[in-house]
Chains A and B, each alone.
Chain A
Amino acid sequence: MKRAVPLTITALGGFVLIVAYFIPAAQGWGEIAAIWFDILAAVAFVLGGGNLLKIHLKKVSDRKGGWGYSGITLAAFLITLVVGLAKVGVNPNPHFPEVALSGGYREIGSPFWWLYEYAFKPLTATMFAMLAFYIASAAFRAFRAKNVEAILLLGTAFIILLGRTFAGVYLTAWLPDSLSGLKIENLTIHIMSVLNTAGNRAIMIGIALGIASTSLRVLLGIDRSYLGTGKQ
């Protein structure tokens, strides 16, 4: 019972979506299953938020090392949550001015928009931007042109990087028109459209086959690892 019911739910949920794809009469079921999935995914965000609250509240109450930062996390979380859920400062939809909460939750100028625009966006963008330094430094330390494969990887990366800059275009601008295919910007295009496409296609075909087989294993109950060991 402990395993039979979840296995049945897994198989039903998955096969309903597969059947809905092939049988037009069953398309409605597929749409309902997809909406249920979206709802559970949204609830999973609530679960994530609840978990964050649980962990950081415990850290603050235990006065563990760095509990002050947990306090900041909690404050940022609660403020964003309250202004977002209550649509603080949001005007109603112009078509329904009598319904106070009918406006868009991300309305320009509202506190929730402010938090997104001036906290969430710059912070996440800068974190991703910083990876430029770390990728470059890791590459510098790890990449060594010691065999054909490494030379191909390094050479391609170098051409692609150079081909997207003005310096790269300038470097090969002197080449005559008869050799324009060797200009770095054109070389980049050829690499991307032929060699890179070929490799990417093989990878995508491999991934698709892997996902299809893993999905079938899950749906048929062969792979049950997601149910855990059963000890908890």
Chain B
Amino acid sequence: MDRRTLTWIIVGLMGGLFLVGRALLTDRGMGKVYVRAVEINSDDPDPDHRWTRHENALPRDYAAAVAANPEQTEYRFSLARTVGTWVAAFFTLFILSFLYKDNSLYKIAESVVVGVSAAYWMVVGFWTTIIPNLLGKLFPVWINSWAMPGLRADAEWVYIFPLILGVMLLMRLSPKGGWISRWPLAFIIGTTAGIRLIGYLHADFLSQIRNTIVTLWATDMAGSFQLWDSLKSLILVIGVLSALVYFFFSIEHKGIVGKTAKLGIWFLMVTFGAAFGYTVMGRIALLAIRLEFLLDDWLWLIDPALRRIGM
């Protein structure tokens, strides 16, 4: 065993001991989740139509409720959500372990995310589109009876076509039936082109041009000239036009065109720099959220929202 492996084993063991000690040997513990029980349909005479929904509750509310009445049942400890918090914490650490090097823990987390996300989007597509928009239109009475009560009762047989196209699309999974999926694929390509053509021309092309046609002589309500606002409008118009000149490749970028294109590149570089800065900030914000989850929700080492005050 080399020195590096030994070091990491020792660090891991110390971390494990810290977790066990903090979770089991301290009064306060860590990583626990509490819930509040809410009765649903409590007025319904049929007991089968009544059930309890569990909403997340703050630890301080649980502590206050127990202090007021130790026998209360409204607030309670949730084992499933506590296990969930621990699982989420370990998954977060598994992914972060990649910063050291590629390892089996990272690969396990990676495999889980691939499987869960593929199934998640399948389930979302099934319950939000296939059931209401396809099966609900073709067999409304049947869907009404078990999934979507209150659905319109008359069938719309025109939806047999997307059903057929859908089945043809799935033929792509068959080793020799790949060509059958060309028709639904053609429909997807065609409708995407149609939606995008109109959407982009309307929302991006026309509206961006419309927003760029601004007054270069800005005045306030009293009619007096506003230098800074006028300058901003001028820079904006020059920036858009010069960057567009750079994108215009039908003329050689020489002379005045070349100089304008050069100015356009400068505007584009500022845009890319801003985009880069924002992307990095966005990722750092996400990282901060994950660290906050580890330190606040899991380890209970910090409490910025005062969720455990009084415990």
Binding site for B on A (CB under 8 A): 2, 5-7, 9-18, 21, 32-52, 54, 66, 69-70, 72-81, 84-85, 91, 93-102, 105, 108-109, 112, 114-133, 135-136, 139, 148-150, 152-161, 164, 190-209, 211-212, 214-216, 218-219, 226-228, 232
Residues from chain B with Cβ under 8 Å of A97 in the complex: 41, 44, 46, 48-49
B277 contacts A161, C-beta separation under 8 Å: yes
Contact A37 B169 (CB under 8 A): no
Which B residues are in CB contact (< 8 Å) with A218?
Answer: 189-190, 193
Question: B15: which A residues are within 8 A, CB to CB?
Answer: none
Q: Decide yes or no whether B119 CB sits under 8 A from chain A.
A: yes
Q: Which residue of A lies closest to B46 (CB)?
A: A97
Write out the residue numbers on chain B whose beta carbons fall within 8 Å of the beta carbon of A84: 119-120, 122-123, 126-127
Smallest beta-carbon distance A133→chain B, Å: 6
What residue in chain B is nearest A218 (Cβ atoms)? B193
* Distance, CA A38 to CA B134, complexed state (A): 10
Q: Are B197 and A80 in contact (CB under 8 A)?
A: no
Cβ of A77: which chain B residues have Cβ within 8 Å of it?
114-116, 118-119
B87 near A96: Cβ-Cβ < 8 Å: no
What does the 1/0 interface line of B33-53 toward A look like (CB < 8 Å)? 001000011001010110101
B16 touches A (CB below 8 Å): no
Stretch of B17-25, B68-76, B260-268 on the interface side: B260-268
Told that A108-B54, A205-B208 touch, could you supply 6 new A-B pairs with CB distance under 8 A? A13-B186, A18-B197, A40-B162, A99-B147, A149-B266, A155-B273
CA distance A132 to B117 in the complex (A): 22
* B172 partner residues in chain A, CB cutoff 8 A: 47
Identify the B interface with A (CB < 8 A): 35, 40-41, 44, 46, 48-49, 51, 53-56, 80-81, 84-85, 87-89, 91-92, 95-96, 98-99, 107-130, 133-134, 145-150, 158-159, 161-163, 165-166, 169-170, 172-173, 178-179, 182-198, 200-201, 204-205, 208-209, 211-212, 232, 235-240, 243-244, 246-247, 264-281, 283-284, 286-287, 289-290, 293
Given A123-B113, A208-B204, A37 and B187 contact (CB-CB distance below 8 Å): yes
State A121–B232 Cα separation when bound (angstroms): 42
- CB B128 to nearest CB in A, in angstroms, measures 8
Chain B residue nearest in CB terms to A87 = B127
Residues of B within 8 A of A232 (CB): 178-179
9 tightest A-B CB contacts, nearest first = A198-B239, A199-B271, A156-B273, A76-B115, A160-B277, A84-B123, A13-B190, A202-B243, A17-B194
Interface centre among B85, B120, B238, B278 (most CB of A within 10 A): B120
Tell me the complex Cα distance, A216–B196, Å: 10
Interchain CB contact under 8 A, B162 and A39: yes
Q: How far is the CA of A173 from the CA of B270 in the complex (A)?
A: 24
Q: List 6 A-B contacts (CB under 8 A).
A: A42-B128, A75-B115, A80-B115, A132-B283, A160-B274, A201-B212
Closest beta carbon of chain A to B232's beta carbon, Å: 5
B247 to chain A, nearest CB (A): 5
For B49, the closest partner residue in chain A by CB is A97
Residues of B within 8 A of A11 (CB): 190
Q: Is the CB of A215 within 8 A of B197?
A: yes
Q: Give which listed residue, B173, B184, B266, B283, contacts A152 with CB less than 8 A.
A: B266
Residues of chain A contacted by B35 (CB below 8 angstroms)? 109
B125, chain A: closest CB distance, angstroms: 3
List chain B residues, Cβ under 8 A from A9: 183, 186-187, 190
Report B242 CB to chain A, min CB distance, Å.
Answer: 8
Contact of B118 among A48, A98, A105, A215 (CB under 8 A): A48
Closest partner residue, chain A, to B40 (CB atom) = A94
Chain B proximity of A78: nearest CB distance (Å): 7
Give the complex CA separation of A105 and B165 in angstroms. Answer: 26
Q: A164 vs B276: C-alpha distance in the bound complex, in angstroms? A: 13
* Residue pair B49, A98 in contact (C-beta under 8 Å): yes
**Interface core residue of A136, A190, A195 (most chain B CB under 10 Å):** A195
